[in-house]
Homo-oligomer: A and B are copies of this chain.
Amino acid sequence: MAKTKKKKESEWATATNERLSEAGFRRGGARAAVVSLLDEQSCALSAYEIEDLLAQRERAVGRASIYRILEELDELGVVAKVELGQGQARYEPVRPDHHHHHLVCDKCGAVIAFDDAPLERAVHSISKRVDFAVEGHEIVLHGLCADCR
């Protein structure tokens, strides 16, 4: 029993790898490392955070590759790019049953996820009302987190 390195892979990583092969991508080491790291995340990471974490824990991946891979994953719809008003983008795995939004602390930059059914309902009902083909939405609440308050 020697498989020490690989942690169990969740549904997201499995589905993502499947989508990647379907879309004709080859299995590259850098992409595998990014997918594996994202798979462990429940919330959004910035490209720099991904770079640092990969350098420490899995396998160093060049910054350009990280951005390229994240863009591919975003286009495939398996990753969501979110802009939380911090001057940088964040990326998180899309798990259809774990849709959520973010609280951002204006002091320390902490990002906290939350979800809310009435909010989703309100957004859905707006989507039907406007002369606009709504494909997605992003909701950011900002203020001070419990620690900074």
B interface footprint on A107-148 (CB within 8 Å = 1, 0 otherwise): 000001010101101110111001111111111111111100
Report the bound CA distance from A130 to B91 in whole Å.
23
Q: Inside 8 A of A121's CB, which chain B residues have their CB? A: 118, 122
CA distance A138 to B83 in the complex (A): 11
- B-side contacts of A114, CB under 8 Å: 126, 130
Residues of B within 8 A of A112 (CB): 130, 132
With a cutoff of 8 Å between Cβ atoms, the chain B residues found around residue A125 in the complex are 118
Contact A106 B122 (CB under 8 A): no
- A138→B139 contact, CB < 8 A: yes
The docked-state distance in angstroms from the alpha carbon of A106 to that of B81 is 13
A81-B85, A85-B83, A119-B119 known; A136+B126 contact, CB < 8 A: no
Question: How distant is the Cα of A29 from the Cα of B146 in the complex, in angstroms?
Answer: 42
Distance, CA A116 to CA B124, complexed state (A): 12
Q: How far is the CB of A131 from chain B (nearest CB, A)?
A: 5
A residues sitting closer than 8 Å to B (CB atoms) are 81-85, 89, 103, 105-106, 112, 114, 116, 118-119, 121-123, 125-127, 130-146, 149
Q: Beyond the given A126-B141, A136-B141, A137-B140, could you list 4 further A-B residue pairs with CB under 8 A, ordered by the A residue number?
A: A112-B132, A119-B119, A134-B141, A136-B142
